[in-house]
Amino acid sequence: MRPRERRVTGRANRHRGEVEAVIDGERRILCLTLGSLAELETAFAADSLAALARRFLAGGLKAEDLIAILAIGLRGGGNIVSDEDVAGMSVEGGLAGLARLVGELLTAAFGGEPGDAEARPDP
């Protein structure tokens, strides 16, 4: 019988809208707080949260959109990063992992169950 490996997981609190991900080899918490949502409204020139949600549900996000969402989510989770820092970071799972992570983060912020992001089309 093999001994169990200890893993550091489960730090994210989904009830607070937090998501956990491995970015640049480091486990990080991301969260879209109220301040983060205001930052997203500004970044995407949305006049309301409903307009922002419609924008994300429409899909067709550009790479620069993914960088902005990821950076804002990282800052909301207490990470000190700029958009430029995030542009150079790698997400576990590559582009597919990045799309999944952004989907999970948006699902955590705008509602839905944790598994819902995987059932929706990637951003």
The per-residue pLDDT for range 52-94, each reduced to its tens digit, is: 989 888 888 899 999 999 999 999 999 999 999 999 999 999 9
> Which amino acid, 78?
G
Q: If DSSP states are collapsed to H, E and C, what string results for 9-53?
A: CCCCCHHHCEEEEEECCEEEEEECCHHHHHHHHHHCCCCCHHHHH
CA 115 to the chain's CA centroid: 14
Can you read off the two tokens belonging to residue 79? 């990470």
Asked if 37 and 52 touch (Cβ cutoff 8 Å), the reply is yes
Q: Supply the pLDDT for residue 59.
A: 81
User: Per-residue pLDDT tens for 36-56?
Assistant: 999 999 999 999 999 998 988
Average per-residue pLDDT for the chain: 83
What is the C-alpha to C-alpha distance for residues 83 and 74, in angstroms, rounded to an integer?
Answer: 10
Q: Supply the pLDDT for residue 10.
A: 60
pTM more than 0.85? no
Residue 13 has pLDDT above 90, yes or no: no
Q: Supply the pLDDT for residue 60.
A: 83
- Largest Cα span, the chain: 58
Can you read off the two tokens belonging to residue 110? 């705008």
